[in-house]
Protein backbone atom coordinates (compact mmCIF):
# COMPACT_ATOMS: atom_id res chain seq x y z
CA UNK A 1 0.00 0.00 0.00
CA UNK A 2 1.41 3.43 -0.91
CA UNK A 3 2.45 5.51 2.06
CA UNK A 4 0.00 8.44 1.53
CA UNK A 5 -2.94 6.02 1.41
CA UNK A 6 -1.65 4.21 4.49
CA UNK A 7 -1.40 7.50 6.39
CA UNK A 8 -4.92 8.48 5.32
CA UNK A 9 -6.37 5.12 6.37
CA UNK A 10 -4.58 5.31 9.74
CA UNK A 11 -5.88 8.86 10.25
CA UNK A 12 -9.46 7.76 9.51
CA UNK A 13 -9.10 4.77 11.85
CA UNK A 14 -7.86 6.99 14.66
CA UNK A 15 -10.70 9.44 14.02
CA UNK A 16 -13.26 6.62 14.17
CA UNK A 17 -11.76 5.30 17.41
CA UNK A 18 -11.87 8.73 19.05
CA UNK A 19 -15.43 9.32 17.84
CA UNK A 20 -16.56 5.89 19.05
CA UNK A 21 -14.94 6.48 22.43
CA UNK A 22 -16.65 9.87 22.71
CA UNK A 23 -19.99 8.25 21.81
CA UNK A 24 -19.54 5.62 24.52
CA UNK A 25 -18.70 8.26 27.11
CA UNK A 26 -21.72 10.29 25.97
CA UNK A 27 -23.99 7.27 26.35
CA UNK A 28 -22.69 6.35 29.80
CA UNK A 29 -22.81 9.92 31.09
CA UNK A 30 -26.27 10.31 29.56
CA UNK A 31 -27.48 7.48 31.76
CA UNK A 32 -25.73 8.76 34.89
CA UNK A 33 -26.19 12.54 34.67
CA UNK A 34 -28.79 15.02 33.51
CA UNK A 35 -26.62 15.95 30.51
CA UNK A 36 -26.34 19.65 31.24
CA UNK A 37 -22.63 19.98 32.00
CA UNK A 38 -20.01 21.58 29.80
CA UNK A 39 -18.32 18.24 29.15
CA UNK A 40 -21.63 16.74 27.99
CA UNK A 41 -22.14 19.74 25.70
CA UNK A 42 -18.64 19.16 24.30
CA UNK A 43 -19.42 15.47 23.68
CA UNK A 44 -22.70 16.44 22.03
CA UNK A 45 -20.92 18.90 19.70
CA UNK A 46 -18.28 16.29 18.92
CA UNK A 47 -20.61 13.36 18.21
CA UNK A 48 -23.84 14.83 16.90
CA UNK A 49 -22.51 15.70 13.38
CA UNK A 50 -21.91 11.98 12.84
CA UNK A 51 -25.32 10.98 14.24
CA UNK A 52 -27.43 13.67 12.57
CA UNK A 53 -27.56 12.20 9.02
CA UNK A 54 -28.93 8.90 10.32
CA UNK A 55 -31.30 10.72 12.68
CA UNK A 56 -32.65 12.77 9.76
CA UNK A 57 -33.05 9.63 7.65
CA UNK A 58 -35.01 7.86 10.39
CA UNK A 59 -37.27 10.90 10.83
CA UNK A 60 -37.77 11.25 7.08
CA UNK A 61 -38.69 7.58 6.73
CA UNK A 62 -40.81 7.79 9.90
CA UNK A 63 -39.03 4.77 11.38
CA UNK A 64 -38.61 4.07 15.07
CA UNK A 65 -40.04 7.43 16.15
CA UNK A 66 -41.76 6.22 19.31
CA UNK A 67 -38.96 4.00 20.53
CA UNK A 68 -37.35 4.75 23.90
CA UNK A 69 -33.98 3.76 22.40
CA UNK A 70 -32.03 6.29 20.35
CA UNK A 71 -31.64 4.13 17.26
CA UNK A 72 -29.81 6.85 15.34
CA UNK A 73 -27.09 6.78 17.97
CA UNK A 74 -26.96 2.99 17.94
CA UNK A 75 -26.93 2.69 14.14
CA UNK A 76 -24.20 5.32 13.88
CA UNK A 77 -22.09 3.47 16.41
CA UNK A 78 -22.47 0.17 14.55
CA UNK A 79 -21.77 1.86 11.21
CA UNK A 80 -18.55 3.30 12.62
CA UNK A 81 -17.53 -0.14 13.87
CA UNK A 82 -18.27 -1.64 10.46
CA UNK A 83 -16.18 1.00 8.64
CA UNK A 84 -13.39 0.50 11.16
CA UNK A 85 -13.39 -3.26 10.49
CA UNK A 86 -13.30 -2.69 6.74
CA UNK A 87 -10.45 -0.22 6.92
CA UNK A 88 -8.50 -2.37 9.38
CA UNK A 89 -8.37 -5.12 6.82
CA UNK A 90 -6.40 -2.81 4.52
CA UNK A 91 -3.72 -1.95 7.08
Distances (CA, A) of 13 to 66, 67, 75: 34, 31, 18
Higher per-residue pLDDT: 11 or 69: 11
Distances (CA, A) of 31 to 5, 17, 64: 39, 21, 20
Is the per-residue pLDDT at 1 higher than 90? Answer: no
Cα 8 to Cα 27: distance, rounded to the nearest angstrom: 28
Is residue 47 helix, strand or coil? Answer: helix
What pLDDT is attached to residue 28? Answer: 94
Check residue 72 and give its pLDDT.
93
State pLDDT tens for residues 24-63. Answer: 999 999 999 887 899 999 999 999 999 999 999 999 988 8
The more confidently predicted of residues 69 and 40 is 40
CA pseudo-torsion sign 47, 50, 51, 56: positive
Could you tell me the pTM of the whole model?
Answer: 0.86
Amino acid sequence: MPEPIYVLVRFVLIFIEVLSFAMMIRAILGWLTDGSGKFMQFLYVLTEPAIMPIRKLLVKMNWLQDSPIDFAFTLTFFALMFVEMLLSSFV
